[in-house]
Structure 1
């Protein structure tokens, strides 16, 4: 005679610990499978059970409960199996400050890892909306850029505050600001382009017709040009010149000085280099674009006299200097601002959160690092 576990006397077992949960759910799944098998194959004893319609309904109902229970257990087991232990938020207090570690996306004890991370508020569909034409047949980097590459790169900087500083609106504004620079610098959109001029960001991953090799021999003792290497613009925030490839390579632990082509071969690395540039000051006494945007930077009296203050406009000053700023309302500057406002709208923040024109613009700002020659540009 078949004996089902449901007919046996229940045995007392200790409560499972967190470490036992996968095994516990396996046992629970096994129990449901046996129960379901019993309900499906049990021969009803006419002396024990009434052969009435109501009893048949009861048995069907019991079978349905068993199936639903099985589905629930399977769902839980799948979640446990797919769960990454590195995604568990760890918390500790360090000198009175709450510090967190969220695993792969915000790894390393940091106050910023206690906040929402980028994937909490910026999803794949938003990335696709911002760069909707990047894989059009006429684009020059079809299939290269994607959301996963951006998030993977961003995860290396979130513990430093990239996209994790301030309240949700500030976080979203920073991502919009950073990507506005990226979109404007990699766009192949024009006023008559399908979808509008701001839908064509990430159309390029390299300079198409470089006019020179961008080798500056004055850096031959620190960042000597590699034989045959070409240091033309590549990446999400295009890198130019041997010394910029060398500095980025040192920071990212990649041999970009000898292999600048890595940037146009790996989208994650290309985003890493761009975010590193966003997070890193040109000089130690100056702010990074990140610090200037989120308000970590406090302007000096000289900054105020030079009309430099926290906000989007100063990020352009830091990244491009007097190639863009201090020249009035030039088209190249306004194009970046327009991308930023457009992205704020698409992300659901709204351009009204961008602030007044003097915060958005660097038209009247004095450059932090006036250029003495074309090779002194940071990008």
Structure 2
């Protein structure tokens, strides 16, 4: 579905993108331990009732799930529309079906800017750097001094994955 993922640019860029995706997934899931967001107090927060379709699965149904921690009713709707799955009414599919979970992660990575100005994929293949992947995934909370420890956690994971893949991390690691 996303043939450019980890397949655009030089071999170094391809490996850097793979490392960036894996680093963000590792951060979001506690090293592939958690499928769902651990802070249950946040669950009711992810319903944007101003959306015309509302929150049909319930006020607290759109919490973070999957490798990129898909959150918010509008993201479940958009991901579901793109993937041909009704995630707005069935958000639990992201935590119950591994294939759906990974599809939402790749969908977000390749198509969504989030609070950033570019997709994480474009950040890596166009040279903006790893820091812009953070901005696109959770920048409104973590970037610009919002949560330096979380940013550093992502950077550390990225540097670890680039080292394992034998490529330099590049510049612009932070946001």
- Distance in 2, Cα, partners of 1:339 & 1:209: 22
Contact 2:61 2:91 in 1 (8 A): yes
Which fold has the larger relative contact order, with Cα–Cα distance below 8 Å and residues 6 or more apart in sequence? 2
Partner of 2:77: 246
Can you list the C-alpha shifts for 1:234-263, whole angstroms capped at 9, x where unaligned? 110001221111111111111000000000
SS in 2 for 1:182: helix
Partner of 1:237: 68
- Distance in 1, Cα, partners of 2:72 & 2:100: 17
2:141 equivalent to 1:330: no
Can you list the C-alpha shifts for 1:194-222, whole angstroms capped at 9, x where unaligned? xxxxxxx1101012452233322111x1x
- Distance in 2, Cα, partners of 1:231 & 1:328: 23
Partner of 1:360: 173
| Distance 1:209-1:329 versus aligned 2 partners, 3 A rule | closer
2:150 equivalent to 1:344: no
**Structure 2 counterpart of 1:315, from 108, 133, 144:** 133
SS in 2 for 1:226: coil
| Distance 1:208-1:286 versus aligned 2 partners, 3 A rule | closer
| Distance 1:355-1:209 versus aligned 2 partners, 3 A rule | closer
CA RMSD, aligned part only?
A: 2.1
**Structure 1 counterpart of 2:111, from 280, 296, 301:** 280
Question: Which one has a bigger Cα radius of gyration?
Answer: 1
Shift of 1:168: 1.7
Shift of 1:227: 4.4
Contact 2:13 2:124 in 1 (8 A): no
Partner of 2:7: 164
SS in 1 for 2:40: coil
Residue ranges of structure 2 left out of the alignment (5+ in a row): none
SS in 2 for 1:360: coil
| Distance 1:250-1:354 versus aligned 2 partners, 3 A rule | same
- Distance in 2, Cα, partners of 1:217 & 1:329: 27
Runs of 4+ in 1 over 3 A off after TM superposition: none
2:46 equivalent to 1:217: no
Shift of 1:360: 0.7
- Distance in 2, Cα, partners of 1:243 & 1:275: 17
- Distance in 1, Cα, partners of 2:36 & 2:64: 6
- Distance in 1, Cα, partners of 2:33 & 2:160: 17
- Distance in 2, Cα, partners of 1:227 & 1:360: 37
Aligned pairs for 1:137-148 (under 5 A) are none
Partner of 1:206: 36
Partner of 1:266: 97
How many residues are treated as equivalent by the alignment?
Answer: 171
Shift of 1:232: 1.4
- Distance in 2, Cα, partners of 1:322 & 1:273: 20
SS in 2 for 1:258: coil
Can you list the C-alpha shifts for 1:298-353, whole angstroms capped at 9, x where unaligned? xxxxxxxxxxx711111111222231111178111000000001111223x14xx1
TM-score by length of 1: 0.43
| Distance 1:242-1:332 versus aligned 2 partners, 3 A rule | same
Shift of 1:287: 2.1
- Distance in 2, Cα, partners of 1:209 & 1:255: 25
